[in-house]
Chain A
Amino acid sequence: ETGVTQSPTHLIKTRGQQVTLRCSSQSGHNTVSWYQQALGQGPQFIFQYYREEENGRGNFPPRFSGLQFPNYSSELNVNALELDDSALYLCASSLGGTTNEKLFFGSGTQLSVL
């Protein structure tokens, strides 16, 4: 059984650019959630995907978008990067659709926007 894997582990972009982050869910898990963790803070919910559709969204602008694929893997896309987007982006998978019990997190992608 493999855990949640994220790629890349680190990324440096400049303001205004676009970025795509990738996540492979834990084996058997059909739900993927994305969180943003600023330095010294708790993770903040971006959105969740279940059955390839967005299932809930936090207080993030439309330039944050995502996809879930038939194999349950997922992408997070951020357009028009801003300096404040610098953070650790965490992907979490779970089994259960609309519930948030037993979320398992990957190690994250550290994004730096210069």
Chain B
Amino acid sequence: GENVEQHPSTLSVQEGDSAVIKCTYSDSASNYFPWYKQELGKGPQLIIDIRSNVGEKKDQRIAVTLNKTAKHFSLHITETQPEDSAVYFCAAVGWAGTALIFGKGTTLSVSS
């Protein structure tokens, strides 16, 4: 089945810097890759997603890139702000399309 690896587990940056989180997946049939942000005491919130027929997608300060050949995808956050501090999860579709398989998460801390 699908397996998703996520790195790094923790990331500390200064306000205004960029942050990059990387994920790899195992199932070449996976075709949908969302990123979620989870704040303390809340459920995961979808922040951006990408389908396998697209190499890059941007939404303001957030972008995601996908390399299907290497089976990895990355989240890029530019001009980080303290409110970006949270746990970020990548995911890929698994279980014959009925489930999201999540990475273990990256705790991002943005200090001002």
Contact = CB atoms under 8 A, between A and B. Distances in A.
Contacts of A33: 99-100
B89 A42 contact: yes
A40 B40 CA distance: 12
Interface of A is mostly: loop
Interface string A57-77: 010000000000000000000
Contacts of B43: 4, 90, 92, 105-108
B108 interface: no
Given A90-B44, A107-B41, A43 B32 contact: no
Contacts of B100: 33, 43, 45, 100, 103
Question: Interface centre among B4, B6, B89, B95, by most A CB within 10 Å?
Answer: B95
B82 interface: no
A89 to B, nearest CB: 10
B42 interface: yes
B98 A100 contact: yes
Contacts of B94: 45
B101 interface: yes
Contact of A100 (B41, B44, B97, B103): B97
Contacts of A44: 102
Given A103-B46, A105-B45, A98 B97 contact: yes
Given A102-B49, A107-B43, A48 B98 contact: yes
Contacts of A48: 98-99
Interface in B67-112: 89, 91, 93-105
CB-CB nearest 3 A-B residue pairs:
A56-B98, A42-B102, A105-B43
Interface of A: 4, 33, 40-45, 48, 55-56, 58, 90, 92, 98-108
Interface of B: 4, 6, 32, 34, 36, 41-46, 49, 89, 91, 93-105
Given A43-B100, A98-B98, A100-B99, 10 more contacts: A41-B104, A42-B102, A43-B44, A56-B95, A56-B96, A101-B34, A102-B46, A103-B100, A106-B43, A108-B43
